[in-house]
Chains A and B, each alone.
Chain A
Amino acid sequence: MNLPVDKKKISIVCFSGDFDKMVAAFTVATGAAATNREVTMFFTFWGLNALKKKKGRIATGKSLMAKAFNFLMGGINNLPLSRLNFFGASPKLMTMMMKQHNVATLPELVEAAHALGIRIVACEMAMKILEVEQSDMIEEVESVVGVATFLNESENSHIIFI
């Protein structure tokens, strides 16, 4: 698709691994991409959990600490609600409520983001700390970048931190 030269750009820093904040990030991202904006999502720290290939609890990493952290955090199916999580029951209840009201669920938003060609990048430093390799993440992760690359590429973008 040929894009106009003055296409608006948005970069979203997905720092939080909370279910509701991830829904917000993907809602803004897909809405922006569908209304002709160039969108980059930069996943760091807790946000990396949404990119793991294994959607459940897997002890990813080499060291005991990393394995424990990754197991406890889990993947996209384990993202907690930022409030009233009730030991993980609330995200499932929230998904049911979203379906009842014809609101796109998180997996549907993620699928839409991929279909819209939203650029997905992962934070090198957070991956190093948590011992997550690119091969542990979904294939849509375009590259692993540092903050300098992210800032350079977002020079003319609105940056949103979630």
Chain B
Amino acid sequence: MKHFLDITNETCPMTFVKVKLQLAKMDSGETLEVLLNEGEPLENVPRSCEEQGFKVLSNEPTDNNKHLILIEK
């Protein structure tokens, strides 16, 4: 199952917190698509997901300096 989370209106630390809590609710093998802003969220959300052992499957720029990343739990 694919989940979606938009954290473009969030600021630190809720950007990481919302991603972490969403991933905690999901089952292993499920994917999470996250829409985030460039800068701090783009630099750190994918990295912290990988540090926790999750796979970042893709990272694509979208409009208005945003990125869409796909994470597999």
Residue from B10, B14, B16, B53 within 8 A of A35 (CB atoms) = B16
A-binding residues in B (CB < 8 A): 9-14, 16-17, 19-21, 24, 44, 48, 51-53
Known: A1-B24, A36-B52. A31 touches B10 (CB 8 A): no
Residue from A4, A35, A102 within 8 A of B11 (CB atoms) = A102
Contact (Cβ within 8 A) B21 A116: yes
Contact (Cβ within 8 A) B11 A115: no
B-binding residues in A (CB < 8 A): 1, 4, 27-28, 30-31, 33-36, 101-104, 108-109, 112, 115-116
Interface residues of B, dominant DSSP: helix
Known: A4-B53, A35-B48. A102 touches B17 (CB 8 A): no
B23 to A: closest C-beta gap in Å: 10
Contact (Cβ within 8 A) A115 B21: yes
Contact (Cβ within 8 A) A116 B11: no
18 additional contacts (CB under 8 A) given A28-B13, A33-B20, A104-B14 = A4-B53, A30-B13, A30-B14, A30-B16, A30-B17, A31-B13, A34-B13, A34-B21, A35-B16, A36-B48, A36-B51, A101-B11, A102-B11, A104-B11, A108-B14, A109-B13, A112-B14, A116-B20
